[in-house]
Structure 1
Amino acid sequence: MLKHFSRVLPIALPLLFVTTLAAAEPFVFTAIPDEDETRLQQRFQKVADYLADKLDVEVRFVPVKSYAAAVTAFRNDQVQLAWFGGLSGVQARERVPGSRALAQGIEDAEFQTYFIAHESTGLEEGAGLNDAMRDMTFTFGSKGSTSGRLMPEHFLRKAFGEAPDEVFSRVGFSGNHSRTASLVASGAYQLGALNYTVWENELEAGNLDTDSVKVIWKTPTYPDYQWTIRDDVNERFGEGFADRVQQALLDMEDPALLESFPRSGFIPVNNDDYEIIRQVGQQLDILD
């Protein structure tokens, strides 16, 4: 009997080990880098801890270097959940059929872009998009940003009937909203467009001097940031897992956690709510 048991044991142990490894698969998420990487890591590690507690699985946050990298990580299954902007979310869901938007911030249903100007331009607060801006220098945020590129370009083309590089003497891409604010505040660019929540946060933090830079126009509202999840998470983490993730996000009420986004709370959303973003992306030929 003992002899027989010793022959079986080496087989049973590896099987048990493999089963344990499979059960320990971490649930991984990322976020578009709308601020510098250090701040992102600080913001989202506590969100990872919250989700781990709610979902009873290991949850990891992994930062990425660009909006495009966030979409690629989602497509390649390096992450199963992502905090995307409107455009990057549309791109990700088109690359991973069946994936779905779960939740958006309360503020994301009616998001805005602020156009800002350095004091040297002579443009006054609330001046709007007008011909006085022609031949000035202008910076967007990231090339893949909804509030820092897609929608600002949409409104610029609507106002001027021309592409931005035909309106301005130089057009740049800062990479993120915080950098757009600092570049315009320093005078490195005369004009810029950025996410309104970043502007408000930078003001509150005392990082901007409104004598040097001011808001000259606020866009009409549009849908923006959202959480998007891959279609195969139920197979990997258990039936109904995607719905559990959605509920955990909707139940997030701790002000310290919500400040990570920053949002006042989350509400349900679906893919159809971002149809306008998809259409504008197609019109400007920047959906890919």
Structure 2
Amino acid sequence: MFKKLLATTAAAFALSSAFVVAQAQEINFGIISTDSTQALKARWQPLIDDMVKQTGLDIKPFFAPDYAGVIEAMRFNKVQVGWFGNKSAMEAVDRSEGEIFAQMVNADGSKGYYSYMIVNKDSPINNIDDMLKAAKTLSFSNGDPNSTSGNLVPGFYVFAKNKVDAKTAFKIMRSGNHESNGLAVSAKQVDVATFNSEQFEIMKANAPDKAKEIKIIWTSPLIPSDPLVIRKDVPAATKEKITKFFLGYGKDDREKQVLKDVAKLSGFKASTNDQLIPIRELDLFSKRLKLEADTTMAEGDKTKAIAEIDGKLAALKK
């Protein structure tokens, strides 16, 4: 009887251990909502299928209606690894136990991409000065609050540097992802919107007639290519498998085509959280300019808040 009990216990323990191991191998891959879920799944699923085959891990794509959904999913360990923009990666690193391990490499050899401000080709608006002068008569679609090219970069260069509050400057303001902003401008459903060069290339390939309806009125400085982020507590062996897959992906013609379909990529290279330093500086400079322009804040409080930002900026430079 005792031997039977031991055998039963051992079998149960083995089954339990196997279950734990299986559970540990389940990975949700988060994908930020630059486009519709349907479009993103079509582009990313072939790469995820290859990742399953080459790593032996059970990997499933995870989508959310906005960037915050993927950031929060990583925070609560519903997502273990994912594709982020630089701004959303900063949030994932600071709030969701994430760390950058890789960075996208563009097929054309460029080291990043650009934020755009766009209008319809028939619009009389030709530059930022025109837009700001006519803002009270215009509808504006901003990007996701956690988007680098859709919000942070134009928020600093277009609005903060011109001492303009985008929330009150326009007749109508709304927000959308890159795809919806481009389509809204091309269809004259909104007067002006944020956009980016990556999405514009996708639109030119998939909807050239709509792309021809868009006019760019502002182009940002170069933004570093997007990072991949993984939770710090992912088991080392699993992390090694995922890192090895991404850094080695793109070795044959089929994989190269998959990368081009994802976002006109040639592959991935190793990266770290240091990639975020210029993004952190941009975020802090933007907050500093907003504080300087604030006329409702007590001078003592303003001076203290600006000093705190300056301290953070100095620490980044070190």
Normalised TM-score (structure 1): 0.87
Please name the residue that 2:234 is paired with: 233
Distance in 1 separating the partners of 2:257 and 2:44: 11
3-state DSSP class of the match of 1:260? helix
Q: How does 1:41-120 map onto structure 2 within 5 Å?
A: 41-97=41-97, 99-107=98-106, 109-120=111-122
Contact 1:113–1:195, Cα closer than 8 Å, also in 2: yes
Counterparts of 2:169 and 2:148, CA distance in 1: 20
2: distance between equivalents of 1:93 and 1:283? 20
1:132 Cα shift? 4.5
Q: Is the 8 A contact 1:30 1:61 kept in 2?
A: yes
Shift, 1:81, TM fit: 0.3
Alignment of 1:246 with 2:247, yes or no, is no
State the match for 2:156 in structure 1: 154
Please say which of residues 246-255 and 145-154 is displaced more in the overlay.
246-255
**Aligned residue among 275, 278, 299 for 1:276:** 278
Matched AA of 2:10: A
> What are the equivalent positions in structure 2 for 1:1-288 lying under 5 Å apart?
3-25=1-23, 26-97=26-97, 99-107=98-106, 109-123=111-125, 127-134=126-133, 135=135, 136-157=138-159, 160-174=162-176, 176-209=177-210, 212-234=213-235, 238=237, 241-253=238-250, 254-258=255-259, 259-284=261-286
AA at the equivalent of 1:87:
K
Number of equivalences: 275
**Aligned mates of 1:106, 1:207 — CA distance in 2:** 25
Instruction: After TM superposition, give the deviation of residue 283 of structure 1 in Å.
Output: 4.2
| Counterparts of 1:206 and 1:280, CA distance in 2 | 33
| Structure 1 contact 148–194 (Cα < 8 Å) conserved | yes
Residue 156 of structure 2 aligns with an amino acid whose one-letter code is: H
- Local SS of the residue matching 2:189: coil
What percent identity do the matched residue pairs reach? 21
Are residues 140 and 5 of structure 1, via their aligned partners in 2, closer, same or farther at CA, if it must alter by over 3 Å?
same
Normalising to structure 2: TM-score of the pair?
Answer: 0.79
Amino acid at match of 1:106: V
CA distance in 2, matches of 1:255, 1:7: 55
Q: Deviations over 1:25-75 (max 9, x none)?
A: 212211101111122222222222222222222222222221001000111
How many Å separate the matches in 2 of 1:251 and 1:106?
A: 12
State the distance in 1 between where 2:40 and 2:202 align. Answer: 15
AA aligned to 2:15 is F
In 2, the alpha carbon distance for the partners of 1:87 and 1:200 equals: 21
Letter aligned with residue 143 of structure 1? P
Q: For 2:144 and 2:118, how far apart are their aligned partners in 1?
A: 16
**Structure with more helix by fraction:** 2
Equivalent pair of 2:183/2:210 in contact (CA under 8 Å): no
Contact 1:138 1:168 in 2 (8 A): yes
Contact 1:147 1:224 in 2 (8 A): no
Cα 1:48/1:132, change in 2 over 3 Å: closer
1:144 maps to amino acid: N
In 2 relative to 1, CA 185–24 (structure 1 residues): closer, same or farther, beyond 3 Å? same
Distance 1:120 1:234, change over 3 A: same
Q: 1:249–1:90: structure 2 CA closer, same or farther, 3 Å change rule?
A: same
Letter in 2 for 1:202: M
Hey, what's the Cα distance between the residues in 2 that align with 1:91 and 1:44? 23
In 1, the alpha carbon distance for the partners of 2:58 and 2:120 equals: 46
Query: Does the C-alpha gap of structure 1 residues 34 and 132 become closer, same or farther in structure 2, counting only changes over 3 Å?
Result: closer
1: CA distance, partners of 2:121 / 2:96: 45
The answer (yes or no) to whether the contact 2:203–2:211 under 8 Å persists in 1 is no
The AA in structure 2 aligned to 1:119 is K
